[in-house]
Homo-oligomer: A and B are copies of this chain.
């Protein structure tokens, strides 16, 4: 059963406390796989596909025929859902596109900043027991909107050597350029260093198991990576007017992900706390993934009862949750007070699942309290900035002595000289 705590009895550390995934010692395995892929390229990828995925792969790249077949094999109504979701995701992410700027406020001085999309992006899509087309949409569409020319997706094939049709349909809908049948650390190595088939990319995004995450850490520096996500989290901030069955269902939508997922209710109503506690006991046994949800709720779940809404908001800002539902009368008033959260769901009619699949904002979000300093995946992850400076000779001449003096004070004579040499003789 989920435990109920009194806010005032908890320290910030206890409020924040999360059970983090223990990393197994996979470093050596991953190092060996990366070295092997660098040395042997496609041959290594095919060997690992057979070894880890049980798949005999002849051609690593998914063909247009396979993509056409995937569309034909997918329920047309679901294709329509995919297209609607993709359109919503694209519309939202288009708002994230920034403009270059140029300043010309001083005589003879032009300063500016320009955005350039990264040239090639790699998107890792996990395979295994379940296929997650929503992840394909969420990781690919921001790259597309950013203007990335080549979006390379990798995903392990099943034992039949094929990729799930819904994954291919989602990839084609989102605008992936090339798809390769490779997974795990070997896929990350291929994307970072390139093989005969797989192009080397500049940045790799996407979720994966501990081998994928470790490989991403290892290749970071050679390429960029997105965040390394921890277990999923939901925080429901709910007042006494909420329907406890809805709140319990929302908590369980995260609890079913993973035994380490963290479902938290923060409320100013002791009555609601008890009602949700009871309702969880009713709903958990009804779930197909009841064992996972049970472990998540009992071991990593929490109900925190606060004296008032102000303290409840304080708890939210300490926890800095990945997903935050604000189930109160005037959620927009609370929005203003929320400093730390990945994605915020406003009002009693907005379950997190709406954002996971459909509404438009990204579902790849900062976990483990990192919303204190980091952000959802978005267009910014697929562009970089360059600043630029232009001074006329006259403009530089006016300040050259100050710059030279500044450099000399830092003990950097050659810096000073590079300015003054232009005014010698």
- Residue total for A at the interface (Cβ-Cβ under 8 A): 115
In-complex Cβ contact of A346 among B246, B256, B389 (8 A): B389
> Assuming the A-B contacts A340-B116, A343-B389, A374-B224, are A249 and B354 also in contact, with contact meaning beta carbons closer than 8 angstroms in the complex?
no
Bound together, the chains give a CA A202 to CA B373 distance in angstroms of 6
| Residues in chain B near residue A33, CB distance under 8 A | none
Known: A339-B119, A340-B116, A378-B385. A368 touches B221 (CB 8 A): yes
Interface presence of A418 (CB below 8 A): yes
Asked if B98 contacts A386 (CB within 8 A), the reply is: no
CB distance from A155 to the nearest CB of B (A): 15
User: How distant is A319 from chain B, measured CB to nearest CB, in Å?
Assistant: 14
Given A105-B91, A130-B411, A410-B131, are A350 and B396 also a contact pair (CB < 8 Å)? Answer: yes
**Is there a chain B Cβ closer than 8 Å to A357's Cβ?**
yes
A333-349 CB contact bits vs B (8 Å, 1 = yes)?
00100111111111101
Q: Does A9 contact B (CB under 8 A)?
A: no
Counted per complex, copies of this chain come to 2
* B residues near A52, Cβ cutoff 8 Å: none
Taking the complex as formed, is A376 at the interface, i.e. its CB lies under 8 A from any CB of chain B? yes
Given A84-B402, A353-B407, 10 other A-B contacts at CB below 8 A? A95-B103, A119-B372, A245-B421, A249-B418, A256-B413, A256-B415, A289-B413, A347-B390, A351-B422, A358-B399
Q: How far is the CA of A221 from the CA of B369 in the complex (A)?
A: 9
Q: How far is the CB of A245 from chain B (nearest CB, A)?
A: 6
Whether A298 is near chain B, meaning CB under 8 Å from some CB there, is: no
Residue of B nearest to A94 (CB): B103
A78–B345 alpha-carbon span in the complex (Å): 51
A375–B146 alpha-carbon span in the complex (Å): 15
Interface of chain A: mostly helix, strand, loop or mixed: mixed
Do the beta carbons of B98 and A98 come within 8 Å of each other?
yes
A→B interface (CB under 8 Å): 77-78, 81, 84-85, 91-92, 95-96, 98, 101, 103, 105, 109-111, 113-114, 116, 118-119, 129-134, 166, 202-203, 221, 223-224, 245-246, 249-250, 252-253, 255-257, 283, 287-289, 293, 331-332, 335, 338-347, 349-362, 366, 368, 370-376, 378, 380, 384-393, 396, 399, 402-403, 405-407, 409-419, 421-422
Of B113, B118, B293, B353, which is within 8 A of A403 by CB?
B353
